[in-house]
Amino acid sequence: MPLEDYEIVIGLEVHAELLTESKLFCGCSTKFGAEPNTHVCPVCLGLPGVLPVLNEKAVEYAVRAGLALNCEIASFSKFDRKNYFYPDLPKAYQISQYDLPLCRNGWVEIALPPADENSPARTKRIGIIRVHLEEEAGKSVHSSETIVGSEYSLEDYNRVGIPLIEIVSKPDIRSPQEARLYAESLRTILLYAGVSDCKMEEGSLRVDANISLRPRGATEFGTRTEIKNINSFRSIERALAYEAARQAQVLDEGGQVVQETRAWDELHGVTVAMRSKEEAQDYRYFPEPDLVPVVTSREWVEKIRASLPELPLARQERFQRQYGLPAYDAALLTETRDMADFFEEAARQWHDPKAVANWLMGDFTRLLKEHGLEVSQSRLRPGHLVGMLKLMEKGVISGKIAKTVFEEMFLSGQDAEQIVKDKGLVQIADTGELEGIIQRIIAANPQPAEDFRKGKEKALGFFVGQVMRETKGRANPALVNELLRKLLTAGQ
Amino acid sequence: MPAHQLAEMLRRRQISARELTEAVLARIEAVDGQVQAYITVTADAARRMADEADRRLAAGEGVTPLTGIPVALKDNLCWDGVRTTCASRILHNFVPPYSATVVDWLIQAGAVIVGKTNLDEFAMGSSTENSAFFVTHNPWDLSRVPGGSSGGSAAAVAAGEAVLALGSDTGGSIRQPAAFCGVVGMKPTYGRVSRFGLVAFASSLDQIGPFARDVEDTALLLQAVAGHDPLDSTSVNRPVPDYPAALRQGVKGLRVGVPREYFVQGIDPRVEQAVRGAVARLEKLGATVTEISLPHSEYAIATYYLIAPAEASSNLARYDGVRYGYRAQGAPDVVAMFSRTRAEGFGAEVKRRIMLGTYALSSGYYDAYYLKAQKVRTLFVQDFQQAFQQVDIVVAPTTPTPPFRIGEKADDPLAMYLSDLFTIPANLAALPAMSVLAGFTEEGLPLGVQFIGPHFAEERLLQAAYALEQDLAGEGVMARRPTLPVKAATA
Ligand SMILES: [Zn+2]
């Protein structure tokens, strides 16, 4: 039967590195990109006799993430050891949380695209089973494809012990697109909460997906596969779409889906079998005896809750309500907290929020991208934009000139007034000066003038263009129009 | 001579720390060929530390009761820059770039560290026969074991090769060798002494503690190593009492409990007699004696041999040949490298416990074994809680038998495990416990008696042990020392 007759059931496991200065159980730096094995110490290297000491900041960040994801925070939680051998795991166990995670029972609301242009936007709630805290492993570089096939492997332990949260969703996701939207929402929320930088390309955000199919209407889950090695938001959707189709084909051919872990092959756009359920590791979890349980007080949790910023979806709704923005604009502007803050600061000082939004979604976003900058790194601040909008409104500069001024503000960080003055960009609103220019142009172009007089409205556009070229765009467009009409007809 | 007398002589400058250290080094030179207590003797470092101690003593600055006193470390305690082997081939060349907190504190106190002592590999054993390097001999009878796993530390103190020593106790590894070697050994309350830098065997049971010639010295060494350490999350932040000050309070009115379950069949009558004799002395000195019950005692061995190996299987998994220690050569791939390194690097008893522990934690068995054992563990806590409502301390045998012969139990792990029958409950319940000399067999083998107290009642144990020791000293028991043939040339 066609794929549409199957219901796709997806759950995601998302790992996010926390933005603490130091590692989870030692004082080593968590900075990305250092020389291999320079951010290590006896504790994170798991040398004999050393003991972990819990970084309380990491607990705070994990609780912050849990609250941002609408979780209950456990008043009593503990760490467990997850045992397995791998060269990048120095203790041969990962300190993680097994049966008593720090946070559980949360949810994320995702905005689904409207069914068609006339339908209202829809939202869907994806449940979160748990959020727990654990430590990172190191990084291996193998001399060939796999560790077993390699002549040698090199180990970098800088990443070992960086605090990580694992966010496990309920199997509430029903399409590859929803999976992507959920992952993007998580990213936005974690960025808002300020707990992770969520860079998939640097590995600080990683997504594994569980997917199964069942005939529509069935209540039992089908056999699932787990997809690893997904390295971008786009691949979440691609990998799951591929896997759904693959499973549908297996089922259609009367076969059975094998419960296994599969790797996404970005290059070939396929998933390939990694290991079967039988090969799955027995992690022999047991309570970590070197750490004491984590006890959180209600007051402490409430203090963290109070310090959380307004979260993306709420802010998006408020932007529509308060500033009258279309849903599309509100979604785009609230994607990062910095952009949303930028917008609000400018919109508070200007009576036309839509104009502010247009500048930010257009020229500002383009310039940031071109220069590879984040909003926080921009020299152009909200005050600059408002200053420029004022000059436009007063007619000092035209919309065209404004584009030049905006780019100049972006590059130099100077304010609009200064730039307009220095570069002589003030709009020509002097009727006498413009009349002179226009008369010269009409004289030089008798044919189009004749055309206009015969009723060819299009010819007016030609003259406007000529005037703008002559004045380097500084002429007031309304005035140019008015004078052109007057002078062209006056000559009759 | 005990440390508290030596400390007095050092302070009066009747002897220098250097002279004392040289005397101990000479004693090691003379007798260690037979006792084999040391894996590493750190003579040069000891001399430097002794000279530093002499400077301090001369200046009268930073002098503590341990300044200038020669101390030995069990070779599972890390000391910055000095090889730490755990008596295992897998760590034969491991030199830690850090010191255990207790070692730091000893150095700060001005103690002189003379070397690292032998043990059962990774502290797993009761005779020091499981050392990958050699067997340590009991100074009272060289054909017998010194006990274990801290056999090297116990033997070194007994043979005069160190004035004091530190060991570690997971199921009796301080108290049992103390009893076998006729010295005092204490396992403090879990959390009283930092475990940072102690190579882990079973993290929820391991505790570092002192060995000494007498109870007063035990109090001095405990004083130096007890206290909160931010590097060990399980160390307790609670004031440390003045232990030496507690010694002379006597036992008048002290309520002593004797658990009937500890006098079961299989206990050597000489041991029973010595323990009952010690109880009688305490009674004579004014204590009241009650028979009590610790009903779950029979489950101690079974519980211990699930929890300890389970934790050990995880703690010892890091020895994979990747970063340090022994690595098997010529393995075709990483999996083979892991398994060959571990097959060649660990001894039989360590492998046996790793397998036991791995099994106990395996999916499908966890609930029946590890989880069940943890639940039973709480029963031991309850047993003692109830007992300590009736009595102030529990007095019991330390070991079921006097020291046995080398090789006697080496091929029978179960018989070996049973020698920890009476010491394990204190570890399971996290209680402080100590072993002191109770007398000798006719053939001159030392016999120990064990005192167990409520959490953080180390003072009470020291107080009772001191009273018993003084009473025994009155009859000359304490003056007996092992006689060892001494190498003529250097002695
Ligand atoms: Zn570190």
pLDDT digits (tens, 9 = 90+) for B116-174: 999 999 999 999 999 999 999 999 999 999 999 999 999 999 999 999 999 999 999 99
Compute CA A274 distance to the chain's CA centroid, rounded to the nearest angstrom.
29
HSE-up of A45 (CA within 13 Å, CB side)? 16
Position B36 in a domain:
yes
Average pLDDT on B234-259 reads: 96
pLDDT reported for residue A490: 74
Residue A175 has pLDDT above 90, yes or no: yes
Average pLDDT on A192-215 reads: 94
B119 in Cβ contact with B151 (< 8 Å): yes
- Which range has the worst mean pLDDT, A104-108, B316-320, B391-395, B416-420? B416-420
Residue B54 has pLDDT above 90, yes or no: yes
Name the closest residue on chain B to residue A83, using Cα atoms. Answer: B314
Position B398 in a domain:
yes
Record: contact B230-A53, CB cut-off 8 A:
yes
Instruction: Identify the CA nearest to A52 among candidates A20, A85, A91.
Output: A91
Record: contact B98-A153, CB cut-off 8 A:
no
Record: contact B96-A42, CB cut-off 8 A:
yes
Distance separating the N- and C-terminal Cα atoms of chain B: 17
Residue A215 has pLDDT above 60, yes or no: yes
Position B53 in a domain:
yes
pLDDT reported for residue B4: 93
Average pLDDT, chain A: 92
Residue B491 has pLDDT above 50, yes or no: no
Q: What is the pLDDT of residues A123-140, one digit of tens each?
A: 899 999 999 999 999 998
Residue B459 has pLDDT above 90, yes or no: yes
Instruction: Identify the CA nearest to A131 among candidates A59, A203, A199.
Output: A59
Residue A147 has pLDDT above 80, yes or no: no
pLDDT reported for residue B489: 47
pLDDT reported for residue A123: 86
Chain A hits for B197, CB-CB cut-off 8 Å, are 49-50
Query: Mind telling me how many Å the CA of A282 is from chain B's nearest CA?
Result: 6
B86 in Cβ contact with B116 (< 8 Å): no
Q: What's the rounded Cα separation, in Å, for the pair A297 and B452?
A: 36
Interface of A with B in 392-451 (CB under 8 A): none
Position B162 in a domain:
yes
pLDDT reported for residue A145: 73
The yes or no reply on domain A431-490 and CATH 1.10.10.410 is yes
ipTM, 2 decimals? Answer: 0.95
pLDDT reported for residue A367: 95
Query: Mind telling me how many Å the CA of A136 is from chain B's nearest CA?
Result: 16
B82 DSSP assignment = B
Q: Give the A:B interface size as CB pairs under 8 Å.
A: 106
Q: What is the pLDDT of residues A342-380, one digit of tens each?
A: 999 999 999 999 999 999 999 999 999 999 999 999 999
Cα of A164 vs centre of ligand 1, distance in Å, is 15
pLDDT reported for residue B490: 44
Name the band, by pLDDT with cuts 50, 70 and 90, for residue A117.
low
Using only C-alpha atoms, chain B has a radius of gyration, in whole angstroms, of 21
Average pLDDT on B365-381 reads: 94
DSSP E strands in B82-147: the ranges are 112-117
Position B369 in a domain:
no
B176: left (phi over 0), alpha (psi -120 to 50) or beta: alpha
Q: What is the pLDDT of residues A156-166, one digit of tens each?
A: 999 999 999 99
Q: How many domains does chain B have?
A: 1
Average pLDDT on A227-241 reads: 95
Which residue has better confidence, B403 or A458? B403
* 3-state SS string for B21-55: HHHHHHHHHHHHHHHCCEEEECHHHHHHHHHHHHH
Residues 6 or more apart whose CB falls under 8 angstroms from that of B80 comprise: B96, B97, B98, B99, B103
Residue B18 has pLDDT above 90, yes or no: yes
Tokens, residue A198? 């969520």
Residue A328 has pLDDT above 90, yes or no: no
Taking the Cβ of residue A81 and every Cβ of chain B, the question of whether any pair is shorter than 8 Å is answered with yes
A37: left (phi over 0), alpha (psi -120 to 50) or beta: left
Name the closest residue on chain B to residue A156, using Cα atoms. Answer: B323
**Helices and strands counted in chain B (H then E):** 16, 11
Cα of A225 vs centre of ligand 1, distance in Å, is 36
Q: How many CB atoms lie within 10 A of CB B436?
A: 29
Record: contact A93-B317, CB cut-off 8 A:
yes
Which residue has better confidence, A444 or A245? A245
A469 in Cβ contact with A445 (< 8 Å): no
pLDDT reported for residue A485: 86
Position B432 in a domain:
yes
Average pLDDT, chain B: 95
Q: What's the rounded Cα separation, in Å, for the pair B365 and B269?
A: 40
Chain B hits for A93, CB-CB cut-off 8 Å, are 314, 317
Cα of B320 vs centre of ligand 1, distance in Å, is 19
- The residues spanned by each domain of chain A are 3-300, 309-423, 431-490
A44 in Cβ contact with A192 (< 8 Å): no
B235 in Cβ contact with B115 (< 8 Å): no
Query: Mind telling me how many Å the CA of A1 is from chain B's nearest CA?
Result: 39
pLDDT reported for residue B488: 53
Average pLDDT on B230-254 reads: 96
Position B68 in a domain:
yes
Compute CA A410 distance to the chain's CA centroid, rounded to the nearest angstrom.
22
Q: Please state at what angle helix A399-412 crosses helix A416-423, rounded to 10 degrees.
A: 110
pLDDT reported for residue B479: 83
At which residue do the structure tokens 């004579």 appear?
B284
Query: Mind telling me how many Å the CA of A228 is from chain B's nearest CA?
Result: 22
Average pLDDT on B393-408 reads: 96
Q: Can you give the residue range of the structural domain that contains B235?
A: 3-295+378-479
Tokens, residue A33? 């990109």
CATH of the domain at B195: 3.90.1300.10
Record: contact A85-B358, CB cut-off 8 A:
no
